[in-house]
Amino acid sequence: MGKMWGDATLPQGMVTFLVGDDEERIEHVSKNALCVRSVFFRTMFGIGMKERDAAEVTVLETDLASFTALVRYLLTDQLDLGEGEGEQARRALVLRQLAQKYQVPRLELLCAQALQESVGPATAVPLLEAAHTMGDGRLLAQCRRFVADHAAEVRASGGVEQLRDLGVAKGLLGDALDQVAELQKGALRSHS
């Protein structure tokens, strides 16, 4: 917050965000606070930009709860992932993408950590698909290992039925075949 002192280039005033297709409102957010926490907002509300003097800014391609969590983090340094295991994983995914877009690296890291901690029987497959889509090799490897080590639990939780991406399905099948081959080699060695 000390960066708000003595910088005459910071915008003054508040902004209301109109979020998503329904244009739900997040009202009276300090522009200068957003600017000192995010390079993206610093550019958006910078000198010469139309948003600098705008009272309202439309934000598409996200939902109100996730964008509210981003704004809350920027203003309070508090991470809000919602309630419940599945909701927290989904929010962490969306919030991580927002953190990338709005150039908030610390939030991105916190979300990545939350995602890694939320891998469980019910979340492993959706997180695996998301990691594949986002190109997150670390989360992808963690989810693959979890599915391999806890296959029965993942299957019992409905994880297999949640699978949508054929590429991920092929990868999981390949992992399963590799495990079978390893088991067969071990069995052959023990019989020799």
pLDDT of residue 140: 84
pTM of the model: 0.76
- Work out the average pLDDT over 127-134: 84
- Work out the average pLDDT over 30-41: 93
Percent of the chain at pLDDT exceeding 90: 43
| Cα 40–Cα 42–Cα 44 angle in degrees, nearest 5 | 70
Quote the mean pLDDT of the chain. 86
User: pLDDT class for 164, splitting at 50, 70, 90?
Assistant: confident
Q: In what order do the strands lie in the sheet with 24-30?
A: 24-30, 14-19, 56-59
Give me the DSSP letters along 118-170: T-STTTHHHHHHHHHHHT-HHHHHHHHHHHHHTHHHHHHTTHHHH---HHHHH
Q: Are 112 and 136 in contact (CB under 8 A)?
A: yes
Residue 166 has pLDDT above 90, yes or no: no
How far from the centroid of its chain's Cα atoms is residue 64's Cα? 15
Distance of alpha carbon 37 from alpha carbon 71, whole angstroms? 10
Residue 120 has pLDDT above 80, yes or no: yes
Q: Which two tokens stand for residue 188?
A: 């052959």
pLDDT tens digits, residue range 102-111? 999 999 999 9
pLDDT of residue 169: 64
pLDDT of residue 138: 85
Q: Where exactly are the structural domains of the chain?
A: 119-191
